[in-house]
Amino acid sequence: MKGDFSVRKSLRRSPLTWRAAVTGLFLLALMTVFASAVDAQTGGRIVGVVTDGQSGQTLGEVQVYIPGTGLGALSRANGRFIILNVPAGTHEVRAERIGLGAETQSVTVGADQAVELNFQLSTQALGLDEIVVTGTAGAARRREVGSTVNQINVSALNERPTDVTKLLQAVAPGVEVTQGGGGAGQGSKIRLRGANTLSNGGDPIIYVDGVRMMTGAFQNRAAKDQSNRAANVTQSPLDMINPNDIERIEVIKGSAATTLYGTEASNGVIQIFTKKGSSGAPVWSLETLQGTAWSQRFGFGDLKSGRVVSGQFREFAGGGTSKFIYMEPWICTGPFQCGQYQPTAWTQSYSASVRGGGQNLQYFSSGEYFDDHGNTPNDYLDRWAARGNFTYTPLTELQMQWNTAYSVQNQTNSPQGNNAEGLELNVFRQNQNYFASGEPDLINLVMGQSLGQQIERFTTGGTATYSPLADMTNRFTIGYDFSNHETRNIRPFGFYAHPEGIIYSGVFQKRILTFDYVGSYSFNVLKSLKSNFSWGGQAVGDEARLVEGNGSGFPGAAIPTVNSAAQSRGYEERSRVWTAGFFLQNVFDFNNKYFLTLGTRVDGNSSFGSGFGLQVYPKASVSWVASDEGFWSPSWGSVKVRAAYGKAGRAPGAFDAVRTWTNTPIVGQPAFIPENVGSPDLGPEVTTEIEGGLDAAWVEDRVRLAFTYYRQMTNDALMNVRQMPSTGFTNNQLSNVGRIKNWGSETSLDIAALRAENYGLDLNLAFSRNQSLVLEHTEPINIGRSISWSNVTVIKNPDALTKTSADVPVCLATTAADKPCRQTLQYLGPNLPINTLSGSVAVRLPMNISLSMRGEFRGGNVVDGLNPMATGRSVRSPLCTPYYTNNDDVTIKNDGSVPAIWMARCTPSLATGYTISGNYAKLRALTATVPMDFAFPDKVQSSTLTLSLNNFYTWSKDSWWGTYGFENFGNAGIAATGLGATGISGNERIPAPTTLRASLRVTF
């Protein structure tokens, strides 16, 4: 990163930047060239239509090719395809698409002759012969696997998401994706099967094409004068992958399925498989996306009265308040309706890819440019990404794959969150803010600071698969994942809060090295009994580095640096962790319908204590394809019953087992004091899981059901334990002293209600229920409660009217004479959702036009600390406006008209009772997909226009909460990092905005 990020803003005079315009013209030229090139081809032709074998519906995106010739085509939305320049003779032609059974036909083509060849592809009941990779040794057919594996076929989704995390949202039971706020680049929290840890965050590990990548989020970095004086935006590495590059995603959610991943896998595994090359002529895809964004209401009040000040700034009296808590001047409140400081929010992206190859070499290559101006004035983000995937088969028994991706993301953000020099905090608090004024022009001074970040991501890996015998396979993968996160925050000379100027510059780097070997050998034990024995090992190295510089006072510096500051300091942190292990596994196959899997993994980790040793993770599973039995009637459908048992772990931090000291100069001389006491016996927390369920399909595979029940027990749970001060080590020590129970169920139902040639109706419902219980803890109050819970003052008679006496609210005092209405420290229940219901509806109309809608409900929990105002610090809350005596301070009415609950919430000395039901629902997406083949020549294989409206409606049980955003306020949207009440009323963020986007994709 060079110079000041803020200089880029001068280049952004309109939503369509000069770079985007050039890119668009270049892509348009490419489209013209390729269309002309296709028109110019001559020779024999194979033409035809691909349809669904069950409904007669035409199928697009089907790869039709002649193996070994480099000739092929992709079917259009109307199912038609054309293969040009086919040599005269007889050829085998193959048609295939993920999720459907492939078909091969023979055809004879004459010189300059057109031959018609039609294909009918059908789905397989339960997909029993589909290959799954995640959680298995090598690869396995779905019928063999005793645990649940969710597979997301990206090409089957109607939407064109710009973030990978959106692909996981509300698509599978037990997968919870929660966005942290509305800032540009803000990442999401992924949680699989709730939370089963007290200290490790709960993030699943993620692989891309077999290579381990950075998980979690990049940390928010700020100057040392205050840790939250920054953008308070945490980016997800997962969202820097181009979603157009992804072919499918596999998700496994519990220890029974993740045993073979060992010490880091107790929170589940997500594996992403990017697109590969294919035998056939090059297939080009070009896509452009344009869109805008605005906020839905997130304010409070009846809005019955009010007046407009300074353009769009709203000030309400008599019980009303702004629809957006006074944020109107800085956000867009509707499509192209933005405040005086906010340009139109705009998103645009341009991408191109090509795939093809011959018999021995296949390739896929792509590039993307993404540009976003978010919903506050200083929110800008642009990203460039490129990928190259190659498959080379030099020998019949040897295949080599190499996958490489690079992306660079630059962004600036408005100051957000609980930040005294931030936008929302000062706007929300109005005249109780750090300006002591709600005047927009004065608050807008916070925009004078520059908060910039640049993130580079590089992932590469190679896999060699060697099969010297028909029944033996050896696979070796080596991979490297690199992240470089550079943060540069500048409060310039003359800045209102720090006239001397303050600068922070930090560079965080993370390197992950993956070595993975798997061997397998299949043989017959008996005529009807087959065995597949697998062995292997894995080593993962994780290295992190952080170098920070901080300075203040730089008058005269045009572009300030840490060196130009009058006072500066530097900081450095380094850590390296290695995890290594080996495993053995055997799958017994009896008559291709009974399967028994037994296996174990043994792990070591450099963060274990010196006296701990190795950790063993056993596994076992059974699978029975009941519908393959001789007595089974076809009218009973297809049914597979499964059960699994397994263990997986989670390691402590790099230095948690080590005794450490920290430097503390005394009288100017070097010195140190005790920091971490360390523990030679420290090991991983181990989660044991049992799961069972069934997969079933009826009515010609039109109705599909999957059900799973699971129970997890986390033993030796890691938690911080207080130390005796007399030892000299006053910091808490992470120790294996806890025990947690986590259990629930997952159900998904897919119904193809209507299958016809021109019409279709598909319904999906997914329900999951998850609960947790702490069984052992160092603090007795936590035992018998959920991992994250509310323990707050409860108003027992909330509707009782109150008046004050001697500065004590009657009905809220503690004497019997005052009829007490409150009970302190009452356990209300879990903060994390217990019940999640997601669903989608897809309608197919004539001409292959499709409409779809997707949403989800979360609830069963309570949420506390939701008031976005610091009421306890005498900040006026819009919620309390009807109960204030005036528009200037926080004096509460004393006329007996204030209910007890609002007296408790609005009185600064109390400031309690902000606890409500966590039940809410969101409509995530409404999408329309329209084929545009009529607008392009027949030689263009397919073209599709997609319109998508996202995040556009929220319902909550408590109406006074409105649509303020459960996902970025309160406990429903935070990581489970500990116990107790974790309300974040000081978070002060705007919710994620509604987005409207249109994309056009053309394939040659």
SS (H, E, C) 314-328: EECCCCCCCCCCCCH
CA–CA separation, 65 and 75 (whole Å)? 11
Which residues are CB-contacts of 444 (< 8 A; sequence separation ≥ 6)?
Answer: 329, 330, 341
Contact 300, 275 (CB under 8 A): no
CA angle at 32 for the pair 31 and 38, rounded to the nearest 5°: 90
Sign of the CA dihedral with 103 first, then 108, 112, and 115 last: negative
Which residues are registered as beta bridge partners of 738?
717
SS (H, E, C) 222-243: CCCCCCCCCCCCCCCHHHHCCH
Amino acid letter, 689: E
CA dihedral 133, 134, 138, 143 (to 10 degrees): -60
Residue 634 falls in which region: left (phi positive, over 0), alpha (psi -120 to 50) or beta = alpha
The predicted structure's pLDDT at residue 966: 61
Amino acid letter, 221: R
CA–CA separation, 813 and 159 (whole Å)? 55
Q: What six digits make up the tokens of 770?
A: 């998850």
Give how far Cα 255 sits from Cα of 311, 650, 695, Å: 57, 11, 20
Tell me the DSSP string of 550-574.
Answer: EEE--TT-SS--STTSSEEEEEEEE
Contact 121, 217 (CB under 8 A): no
Which residues are registered as beta bridge partners of 465?
399, 475
Which residues are CB-contacts of 700 (< 8 A; sequence separation ≥ 6)?
Answer: 54
The predicted structure's pLDDT at residue 43: 67
Contact 268, 218 (CB under 8 A): no
Which residues are CB-contacts of 561 (< 8 A; sequence separation ≥ 6)?
Answer: 503, 505, 551
Give how far Cα 893 sits from Cα of 673, 696, 796, 878, 890, Å: 53, 62, 21, 15, 9
CA–CA separation, 221 and 548 (whole Å)? 9
Short-list 8, 376, 331, 344, CA closest to 183: 376
Short-list 372, 294, 381, CA closest to 330: 294
Contact 844, 59 (CB under 8 A): no
CA–CA separation, 269 and 156 (whole Å)? 22
The predicted structure's pLDDT at residue 874: 82
CA–CA separation, 577 and 544 (whole Å)? 9
Mean pLDDT (10-residue bins), the chain, 1004 residues: 38 41 48 45 79 81 79 78 85 83 87 88 75 83 90 82 86 87 86 85 90 91 81 90 92 90 90 87 90 84 34 36 82 92 93 88 94 94 96 91 96 89 88 88 94 96 93 95 96 91 95 96 92 95 95 82 90 93 95 95 93 93 94 92 95 87 77 84 93 93 94 91 80 88 95 89 95 90 84 76 70 57 72 92 91 93 73 80 83 86 85 80 92 78 89 75 50 29 49 92 86
